[in-house]
Amino acid sequence: MENNTNLIETLIERATDYGKTSLELVKLKAIDKTSEVVSSIIPHSVVLFIIASFILFFNLGIAFWLGEILGKIYFGFFAVAAFYVVIGIFFRVFLYKWLKKIIGNYIIKHALK
């Protein structure tokens, strides 16, 4: 009878150790994925910030230049805004599903990597 009790205790101990090890493995995998995502987001964010700054100043220059050509500075800003409205509508109508699929596949690929 004691032999069965020792076997059961050993089995319970091993099951507990297995559960703790499995939990630790899940934690380490989560940390690995999180660090991979964060480490890839930071360089992309820096590049995105630089590109956004360039686009902002480029658009301001175009708006002021068009404003001088059109006679009033605010006409240049209206022209640039109208251009972006047209681009936005084009993206929404024609490229929304395609872009959504590409971004979704990119996220899934990195999550399962």
33 touches 111 (CB < 8 A): yes
The pLDDT value recorded for residue 37 is 77
Total number of domains in the chain: 1
Q: What's the average model confidence in pLDDT over 16-33?
A: 89
Tell me the residue range of the domain where 23 lies. 2-112
The pLDDT value recorded for residue 42 is 86
Is the pTM higher than 0.85? The answer reads no
pLDDT tens, residue by residue, 49-91: 999 999 999 999 999 999 999 999 999 999 999 999 999 999 8
3 pLDDT tier (thresholds 50, 70, 90): confident
76 touches 65 (CB < 8 A): yes
